[in-house]
Structure 1
Amino acid sequence: MADTAPENPRSPFETFARDMLRGRTAFVTGGGTGIGFGIARTLGLLGAKVAIVSRKEEVLNSARTALDSEGIETLAVPTDIRDFAAVEAAVAQTVARLGSLDILVNCAAGLFHTPAEELTENGWKVLIDINLNGAWACCKAAFEPLSKAEQGGRIVNIVSPFAWQSWPGSVNAAAAKAGLISMAHTLAVEWGRYNIHVNNVAPGPIGGTGGINRMADDPERFSAEIERTSLGRLGQIGDIAEAVAYLASPAGSFISGADLLVDGGRQHNMVPSKVRNLRAL
């Protein structure tokens, strides 16, 4: 299975009004595949113009074709978010071509699993660079246009609940995402006076993503992961995309500095399904 949007993604019109985001522009990093693509698609279907950002031009071109086919005005901007000058250029290009930048979604991320004692210096730095430094570069570069957004600028970071729990085998990713969460809380305070709202969305196990696809090769682990969710199932990319849309919408006008957990109750469920029925306890 590929790390792309699901074959039959749900329509955001079941939840939100059409054209809810008309006149606004979203800048979505990691927008070529997976959750990032799903977010770009949802924001675009709700009326936003969308700039999708990734290092891989061929991935962006494929995603842009898919978004264009649904009538979404899309700009593909090949960018390595670890390069601050490149990020500044991408933001400037977005504003010049699409007229504004109102919504920033930091979704680009890297992940690999290595025991902490075996992690190399470069292995530590590369994920800090992508997951934390890259997100900061986007926030800093987007500050000026976000501060001019008529309905208030919105920043939404895609983080992980593991960042405040534990993430064995991914100490670098845990540290980066924890830093991103704290960064969002601080920016929410500092940039509130510019009417910029900064929030985090933390996905649980989401079907159609690379991590879940790889996990499916291990049936025992896959089953255990689903069992950990209180709802007993995987989430959908649309669950995350619509959470972002909510925070970017007028309904999110008094929300800033929040951590929205979208994990089917996973974080609080430590009880195996076979004893989840209270009568069995």
Structure 2
Amino acid sequence: MSRPVVAITGGGSGLGEGMALLFAESGYDIAICGRRIEKLEQVAEKAKASGAAVYIQSVDVRNYESVDLWLQKAREKFGQLDALICNAAGNFIAPSIELSPRAWKAVTEINMDGTFFASQAFGKIQIEDKRPGSITSIIAAYAQSGQPGTIHSAASKAGVLAIMRTLAAEWGRFGIRCNSISPGPIHTEGTDKNLWSFPGAEKRMKSTIPLGRIGEVRDIAQAALFLASPQASWISGADLDVDGAQWLNGGVFGWDPNDLPGPMLALMKAMRGSKT
């Protein structure tokens, strides 16, 4: 009996790595893509230790042909695809008034174009193979609530939510389910370095979360595993908040919009190493 196969964009670190490893532990073979092949190779070695077969490829998700080739090669290697996780994303904190057209374009192309291109390529394969499937996109709570400093990410993630719901309505007849996950604050290498190292940031963040803790990568990975599984066979067009109920309290980063620009600019300096 063949193992199910999951394809994950942005699979070389952070949430993508965590999801890849949990899927591997859970009996899936995996195809992962990202920009840095050495990162993908490291994840692949860990996944293989769990018994998974792995296909990796350096991919620019903004380029349809690049994404399509990766998925076609994965299908060729494994004989099938079962699930797609659209995780590749670009983001940084920036006040809307200071965001350059180039920065806007860079983030929206990775987030929204990349998700659509991967979903379209996956959908074509599943429909051609007459095989049901699952697509899950990682978005953000602020895509619906709004959050200062995230207009490029929030707008494109809201677009991703619309993509998932539109495809859920359009591709349901093919047995393709499409959902999204809205993570709350998560401990990753990047956030630990750039966000939670900021004085008082972690304590303030926890105060906004009813469950009283910052999430772990595995919290999101478990949600993704569930949505891809047969146990979620009648769930489509849904967005799953995995944030300890933080969305009920508003903001994501734990500051009040009235505090701006102080904390935001301080955070930007910390993240960019600015001396001004």
Q: TM-score, length-normalised on structure 2?
A: 0.87
- 1:65-104 equivalences in 2 (<5 Å): 65-104=45-84
Q: CA deviation at 1:149?
A: 6.3
Q: CA deviation at 1:48?
A: 1.1
Aligned length: 250
Gaps of at least 5 residues in structure 2 are 251-276
Q: CA deviation at 1:208?
A: 2.4
Per the alignment, in what secondary structure is the counterpart of residue 255 of structure 1? coil
Superposed CA RMSD in Å reads: 1.6
Inter-partner Cα distance in structure 2 for 1:205 and 1:80? 26
- 1:123-202 equivalences in 2 (<5 Å): 123-147=103-127, 148=129, 150=131, 152-202=132-182
CA deviations over 1:18-64 (Å, ceiling 9, x no partner): x9xx6211110011111111111111111111001101111111111
Structure 2 residue aligned with 1:275? none
- Within the candidate set 192, 207, 215, 1:235 is matched to 215
- Within the candidate set 44, 51, 54, 2:31 is matched to 51
The answer to whether 1:255 aligns with 2:228 is no
Per the alignment, in what secondary structure is the counterpart of residue 164 of structure 2? helix
Per the alignment, in what secondary structure is the counterpart of residue 267 of structure 1? helix
Structure 1 residue aligned with 2:260? none
The answer to whether the Cα contact below 8 Å between 1:160 and 1:202 also exists between their aligned partners in 2 is yes
The answer to whether the Cα contact below 8 Å between 2:7 and 2:30 also exists between their aligned partners in 1 is yes
Q: CA deviation at 1:95?
A: 0.5
The answer to whether the Cα contact below 8 Å between 1:80 and 1:87 also exists between their aligned partners in 2 is yes
Alpha carbons of 1:145 and 1:58: their partners in 2 closer, same or farther (altered >3 Å)? same
Moved over 4 A (4+): none
Structure 2 residue aligned with 1:221? 201
The answer to whether the Cα contact below 8 Å between 2:130 and 2:174 also exists between their aligned partners in 1 is no
Gaps of at least 5 residues in structure 1 are 1-18, 271-281
Per the alignment, in what secondary structure is the counterpart of residue 75 of structure 2? helix
The answer to whether 1:28 aligns with 2:8 is yes
The answer to whether 1:111 aligns with 2:65 is no
**What amino acid maps onto 1:48 in structure 2?**
Y
Per the alignment, in what secondary structure is the counterpart of residue 215 of structure 2? coil
Q: CA deviation at 1:209?
A: 4.5
Inter-partner Cα distance in structure 2 for 1:149 and 1:252? 20
**What amino acid maps onto 1:250 in structure 2?**
P
